[in-house]
Amino acid sequence: MSLLCVCVCVCVCVCVSVGQCGNQVGCRFWDLALREHAHVNQMGIYDEALSSFFRNVDQRGADSTGGKINALKARAVLVDMEEGVLGEILQGPLRSLFSSTQLISDVSGSGNNWAVGHHTYGLAYREQIVDQVRKAAEHCDCLQCFFLIHSMGGGTGSGLGTFVLKLLEDEFPEVYRIVTSVYPTAEDDVITSPYNSVLAMKELTEHADCVLPVDNQSLVDIVGKIQHMSNTGKPGCTIKKDCTIISGQGGVVKVEKPFDAMNNIVANLLLNITSSARFEGSLNMDLNEIAMNLVPFPRLHYLLPSLTPLYTLADVSVPPRRLDQMFSDAFSKEHQLIKADPKHNLYLACALMLRGNVQLSDLRRNIERLKPTLPFVAWNQEGWKTSLCSVPPVCHSHSLLALANNTCVKSTFFELRERFVKLYRRKAHLHHYLGVDGMELAGFSEALSSISALIEEYTHLESPLMPNAPRLTIAT
């Protein structure tokens, strides 16, 4: 008689943050994730929830798989070509989460030039980055996905960030790559940000499995809305001291500047999307299921994120939102992290990721209630993916993250293309890029063609089918 042994491995993720914005957002994510786990895991036990994003290391530096927490290390690689942010991390409250080898930096930066980040620093640091990513992967029993966090407007985040994305595909082709990309506003103070963004877009379209686009203007508007609430002086509409949006408690830097509050919003997006991987629930969703269920066409993998309640981000003391209202909010423009109009475009698929004490019947009822108002493509009317995580955000009863694959993202790409063309027609600042080894003029035309093709693919899906279109026939 033989016995069959079944080994269950915990699926884990590795976060790679690149550039100043990427590392500030990433650092805030680690800070808030620790806060959540400390709230749930008050006995200090290294459990499966912690192991999804953290290692437990003993005094010899070896992994300890059970029992009490010894020393937590983030499953992460941090890359920046300036020392400022990474230096603050090594000196700040989160320094014990990272060993110095996990942080890769230079001193001079990329000068807001995609070509310098992608070609110059990409080639110079390729082996070091690959080595650190491999070491992080070797500590994972079952590596499920990579999270890449970066911004699009600067040189390091856009250039080196997309170089790293291609590296991850080359080295780990079977591991999903989920990218959080922060897009610049039209009034961005980096004049070459349209070049950097469109050059990066080509790489994102070709090498990512999913992209969560977040634009700075939406973040500015959300922060303004929250601060307006705090200034109204209405009872029950004040921001608590040490809240997650205006306080740096437990973090690296005190949150005082506007972009710090904006980074917190993106960090909360990451908290919600990873909640099913970190905590138990009645209907959990693996991170790889996002790409498997929401991306019917490989190139059309840009997912519109919406968060509700918004005030969870700021720990604002407002009366709890009714559950049904929370579902409605998730499909309103005020709760989106990108400026777009999904209700006047087409949904290809949608995921609802709930946290807290929510019943499956509540979820189904609200989907049925909202369906008539949401225009889905005819061939995927049931294109919903749902998850229920039992652990809510700290100090709140529940939250909802919606991820929509909707053709409305083409408007963001169209505006970005227009800003690119305005510069490119005048050949403005091209010499800064063409002077970098490995960068050719053809790279600009290829990037422009790529984003134009992407816009056209989204537009084509909205076109009605020809009434007398020939149907596929089977030869007999």
148-175 residue pLDDT tens: 999 999 999 999 999 999 999 999 999 9
Is residue 278 predicted with pLDDT exceeding 50? yes
pLDDT of residue 257: 58
pTM, rounded to two decimals: 0.90
| Greatest mean pLDDT range, 40-44, 252-256, 295-299, 356-360 | 295-299
Is residue 235 predicted with pLDDT exceeding 50? no
Tell me what the mean pLDDT of segment 435-440 comes to. 96
pLDDT of residue 242: 42
Is residue 43 predicted with pLDDT exceeding 70? yes
pLDDT of residue 1: 37
Is residue 9 predicted with pLDDT exceeding 60? no
At 310, the pLDDT band (50, 70, 90 cuts) reads: confident
pLDDT above 90 covers a percentage of the chain that reads 64
At 396, the pLDDT band (50, 70, 90 cuts) reads: confident
At 45, the pLDDT band (50, 70, 90 cuts) reads: confident
pLDDT of residue 383: 93
At 258, the pLDDT band (50, 70, 90 cuts) reads: low
Tell me what the mean pLDDT of segment 205-211 comes to. 98
pLDDT of residue 230: 67
Is residue 4 predicted with pLDDT exceeding 50? no
pLDDT of residue 468: 38
Average pLDDT, the chain: 86
> 48-70, pLDDT tens digit by residue?
888 889 998 876 666 666 678 88
Using an 8 Å Cβ cutoff, are 467 and 223 in contact? no
Is residue 471 predicted with pLDDT exceeding 50? no
